[in-house]
Structure 1
Amino acid sequence: MWKLQASLLGGDEERQDDFLDDFNGSCPLSPLQRLYGFAGCLAAGLACMLLSLVVFARPIKFAIIFTFGNLLAIGSTAFLIGPGQQIRMMLDTVRIYATAIYVGSVILALVCALLIHSKILTIIAIICEICALIWYSLSYIPFARNMVSELLVRLCDTEI
Structure 2
Amino acid sequence: MAFGFFSADFSDQGVMDDGNWKFCGLTKMQRLYAFGACFVAGMLISILSTLMLLTLNVTGFAILYTIGNVISLFSLTFIIGIPKQIKTMFAPVRFWATTTYIALLVLTLVLSITLKVFALSIVLVIIQFCALVWYSASYIPYGREMIRRVFGTCVTSI
Indicate whether the TM-score tops 0.5.
Answer: yes
Higher relative contact order at CA 8 Å, sep ≥6: structure 1 or structure 2?
Answer: 2
Give 5+ residue unaligned stretches, structure 1: 1-21
Q: Matched residues in 2 for 1:117 and 1:25: separation?
A: 44
Deviates more, 1:137-146 or 1:117-126: 117-126
Q: Quote the sequence identity (%).
A: 35
Q: Which residue in 2 is equivalent to 1:8? A: none
Q: Deviations over 1:96-134 (max 9, x none)?
A: 111111111111110111222222221111111111111
Q: How does 1:31-70 map to 2 (within 5 A)?
A: 31-57=28-54, 58-70=57-69
Bigger share in helix: 1
Q: Matched residues in 2 for 1:35 and 1:144: separation?
A: 23
Q: What TM-score do the two structures reach when normalised by structure 1?
A: 0.78
Determine if contact 1:102/1:132 at 8 Å carries over to the other structure: yes
Q: What TM-score do the two structures reach when normalised by structure 2?
A: 0.79
SS at structure 2 position matched to 1:46: helix
SS at structure 2 position matched to 1:140: coil
Q: Deviations over 1:70-119 (max 9, x none)?
A: 11111101011111110011011111111111111111110111222222
Q: Matched residues in 2 for 1:150 and 1:40: separation?
A: 33
- Kindly name which structure, 1 or 2, has the bigger radius of gyration based on alpha carbons: 1
Q: Which residue in 2 is equivalent to 1:106? A: 105
Structural RMSD (CA): 2.2
SS at structure 2 position matched to 1:92: coil
Deviates more, 1:108-117 or 1:88-97: 108-117
Q: Which residue in 2 is equivalent to 1:71? A: 70
Q: How far is 1:150 from its partner?
A: 2.4
Q: Which residue in 1 is equivalent to 2:15? A: none
Give 5+ residue unaligned stretches, structure 2: 1-18
Q: How far is 1:59 from its partner?
A: 2.5
Determine if contact 1:105/1:129 at 8 Å carries over to the other structure: yes
Equivalent pairs counted in the alignment come to: 139
Q: Which residue in 1 is equivalent to 2:137? A: 138
